Amino acid sequence: MSGSPGQSSGEVQLEVSEGVAVVTLNAPQRRNALTPAMAAELIATFDEVDAREDVGALVVQAVGKSFCAGGDVQTLTDAGRDPAAPEAYAGMGAIYDSFYRLGQVRVPTIAAVRGSAVGAGMNMLLAADLRIVARDARLICGFLKRGIHPGGGHFVLLSRLIGREAAAAMALFGEEVDGEAAVRLGLAWETHDDDAVEGRARELAARVAKDPALARLAIGNFRKETGPPGVSWEIATQFERPAQMWSMRRPTD
């Protein structure tokens, strides 16, 4: 595997083979929770992918038992003290920018999801164009359980896939979804045993990656024609930000 220049932590890894870029979240010790530094590495890696004309598809996967546990606890704690403080605001913004950047990658993207995806981790998989998930995956919005208003355009990303009713069940009422339910709801294309998820994602990616130029052209129009209805993702992110800052600023028991 190779990383982008300046990526010395090893928490984000990049492999390119036969037109398919595989980006791996590699911080299993904290269940791949996103820190501002890791988010910056992700953005740099997506920039590198976009700069390579030989890449026609991208797969996002993760090492360990969790796809992504959301925002790093320390980052959330720091932001909770004063969400409007410059460092806290920038740190949370970097996390938002990482999955928003995934949604802007110039090639079709697939999230290969094993284990749990929570909060910002859900936003990461929702940002992809397609999802392949494990049967025993645990897909959890989780924001309200933490006492935090959802951020990053979460309502838009979720509801555009599964509709208002299911989005309410998950985002407001805390319903957890496994692989079978994810497929039934339209939250994933397929569900497989844990050890088959990443292989299947690469298999699908390889199909479109055979013609990188066409893949880039097609995905641009696909997103424009099928993108978020009503409120755009970008607007939703800004709309949610003050509410999330308020929720994080409240005193905790």
Concatenating the DSSP letter of every residue in 76-132 gives HHHHHH-TTSHHHHHHHHHHHHHHHHHHT-SS-EEEEE-SEEETHHHHHHHHSSEEE
Supply the pLDDT for residue 15: 98
**In this structure, what DSSP letter does residue 171 have?**
I
The one-letter amino acid code at 83 reads P
- Mean local confidence (pLDDT), 174-187: 98
If one compares 160 and 234, the residue with the highest pLDDT of the two is 160
Its pTM stands at 0.86
Supply the pLDDT for residue 78: 57
Dihedrals phi, psi of 203, to nearest 5 degrees = -60, -45
Determine which helix (DSSP H) or strand (DSSP E) holds 15, and give its type and residue range.
strand 12-17
The tens digit of pLDDT for each residue in 35-61 reads 999 999 999 999 999 999 999 999 999
If one compares 20 and 148, the residue with the highest pLDDT of the two is 20
Nearest to 185 by CA among 203, 169, 204, 205: 169
pLDDT exceeds 60 at position 229: no
How far from chain centre, in Å, is Cα 247? 22
How far from chain centre, in Å, is Cα 245? 21
pLDDT exceeds 60 at position 172: yes
Supply the pLDDT for residue 89: 63
3-state secondary structure at position 215 = helix
Instruction: State the chain's mean pLDDT as an integer.
Output: 89
CA distances from 147 to 37, 116, 248 (A): 24, 19, 8
Q: Is the dihedral of CA 6, 93, 149, 170 positive or negative?
A: negative
pLDDT confidence bin for 74, thresholds 50/70/90: low
Supply the pLDDT for residue 81: 59
pLDDT confidence bin for 131, thresholds 50/70/90: very high
Is-contact 142 119, C-beta < 8 A?
A: yes
Nearest to 70 by CA among 162, 142, 171: 142
pLDDT exceeds 60 at position 7: no
Supply the pLDDT for residue 106: 98
Give percent of the chain with pLDDT exceeding 90. 69
**In this structure, what DSSP letter does residue 59 have?**
E
pLDDT exceeds 60 at position 4: no
Supply the pLDDT for residue 201: 98
54 Cβ contact list (under 8 Å, min separation 6):
16, 19, 212
Determine which helix (DSSP H) or strand (DSSP E) holds 216, and give its type and residue range.
helix 212-226
